[in-house]
Amino acid sequence: MTDSTKSTLPDKTIRELREAVTPERVILDPAVLKEVSEDLTEVARGRAEVVVRPRTVEEVRRVLQTASRSKVAVVPMVANTNVGGLAIPDHGGIVLDLREMNRILEVNEQDMYMVVEPGVTWQDVSDRLGRDHPSFRIGYSLAPPDSSILCNCLLDGLTTLGLKHGPTGDWINGIEAVLADGQVIKTGAMAMGGTWCSDSPAPDLTGLFINMQGTTGIVTKMAIQIFPKPAFGSRGFILAYEIEAATRLIRRLVREDICDDIGGLTWPIVKMLFGEQRPTYRDPDEPIFFVYSDISAPREETYRAKMSALEAVLAEERGTGAHLVGPLDIWDIVPIEPGFRKLAEFPTRLDFLLDRGGLTWIGTYGPISRWEEGLQKGIEVMERRGFPPLVVTRPMRGGHFGVLRFISTFDKEDADEVTAVRDLNVELSDVSIDLGFIPYKTPPWLIRRHKDRIDPGFLALLKKIRSVMDPDGILNPGKWSP
C-alpha cells in the first residue's frame, strides 16, 4: 500500500468529519484515495488521506472547522479532470469532493442569470436550459460534459462564447463561499442584501476567489450570466493553407464584428478525428489551419447579412493571395465524416484526446499581435520533440486578447512519455511567457519556474491576502504559493 492509498489522520479528526457529514460520505477506501490523488496530466500523484462528500454549505462549513482545528489540508475537487494538477493533494489531508452539491438553484430569465452549486455540470446546464429555458444559452467549454461549470468560471476558462463575453470569470455575478475558519460569505450585489443579478456596485471581492485555485475559500454557490439564444445561426470551417493568412482572417472577422465565436485549430486535430492517435506528418497539399466560426442573429435577414459579410471578407482576403477554402457548414461535413459531430454540438466529449490516458497543455492568454510568432515557435518545439503540433487559438473579449494553447496526449503508464511531455511543457512555457502569453489554470511547477518574472509587489500582496484568509495554510496548499 502506497502513501497515496492510506490515511494517517488522527482518529479524532476522522470521527469529527463523520459527524460533520455522515459516516458513509467519509471515504477511506484505498482505491478511491488513489483515484483522487491524480488527474489527466503528467503531474506526479499526490497523497489523499480521506475523501469527504458534503451536500450542503453547512456541511462544508463543519468540515472546514474540523480541518482548521486539526491543521489538515483541504483540496476541493469535482470531476477530477483538471489539466493543471490543481486538485492534486500535494500535502495529504482531505479531498473535498463537491460533486454531490449539484443543484441548479435558480434560473432567472428576466435578469439573465442562473445560480449553481459546484457539482453542476455543463451537461446539467445544457439539459436545463434546453428543457425549461430554450430562448437562452451559455457558452460551452471543450471540457467533458460531466465537468463543473462553477470550477471553470473560477479558473477563467474559455468557451464557445469567449469572443463575445470573455473568459468565464467575467460571467460571475457573485458567489457564496466558506472561508478556512468556516465563515460563510457572499459577494456581489447579494452581499448588500440584493439579488444575484450583478457584481456591482459593491466592492468586487469575487476576485479574491477567481484564479486562486481554491486557496482562499470553498465556493458553494455561484451566480452565472446566461445569454439570449438567437433563432438563426450556423457553425462553419474555413480551410487555410498558411498560418499568416489564417490569423489575419481571424483578426479581420473580429474587427468586422460578424461572429459570436472564432477560433483556429492546427491540422493534427482533423487527423485525430479520423482516428490517427499521433499524427506527425502533413501532406503539403493539406490545409495547415482550420478556422471555425459561429454566426448567429435573432432575425433571418440579420443572419443572412452577416453571412454575406463573411463571404465578402473571404473574397477580399483571397484577392491578396490568401489560399482559403470555405466556409463549409459543419452539418454538411458530418454526413461525410461523422467524427465532426463532436465539433458540431456542445457540450461534447473529445474522446480522441483521452484515448491514450494522459492529456496536458500549456494554455495561455496573451496578445493576438504575437500569435504568428507564438504559433511558429511552439509548433517548432512540438515537432522537434516528436509531438503532433496540436494548437488552438481563439480571440477573447472582443479581441482584446487571445488564446494560444498547445495540447499533448501521452501514455500515463509509460515513464519515458511522461518525462518527454513534462520536458515539452517546460520549453513551451518558456516560449509562451517570453512572448507575453500567461498560462491560465496555472500549474504549480510553472509558477515556481517563472517566479522571478512575477512582480515582487504582486507576490507580497498575494502573500498578505492568503495569510489573512487562510492563516494556517490549509486550503489547497502548494497552489499559487507566493
Domain ranges of the chain: 3-97, 104-228, 232-439
**What integer pLDDT is reported at residue 454 of this predicted model?**
94
User: Mean pLDDT, to the nearest integer, of 384-399?
Assistant: 96
Q: Which of 238-242, 335-339, 423-427, 444-448 has the lowest mean pLDDT?
A: 335-339
Give 275: exposed, middle or buried? Use CB within 10 Å, 0-12, 13-18, 19+: exposed
- Whether 5 has a pLDDT exceeding 70, the answer reads no
Q: Can you give the three-state secondary structure of 116-132, one letter per residue?
A: ECCCCEHHHHHHHHHHH
> DSSP secondary-structure letter at 160?
T
Where does the pLDDT of residue 1 fall: very low under 50, low under 70, confident under 90, or very high at 90 and above? very low
pLDDT tens digits for range 433-464: 999 999 998 999 999 999 999 999 999 999 99
Whether the predicted pLDDT of 2 surpasses 50:
no
User: Distances in Å between the alpha carbon of 204 and those of 139, 173, 186, 190, 207?
Assistant: 23, 10, 11, 11, 6
DSSP letters, 309-339, are HHHHHHHHHHHTT--EEEEEEHHHHTTT-GG
CATH class of domain segment(s) 3-97: alpha beta
Fold of 232-439: Vanillyl-alcohol Oxidase; Chain A, domain 3 (3.40.462)
Instruction: Give the pLDDT score at 352.
Output: 82
- State the average pLDDT for the chain: 94
pLDDT computed for residue 212 by the predictor: 96
CATH 3.30.465.10, domain 104-228, yes or no: yes
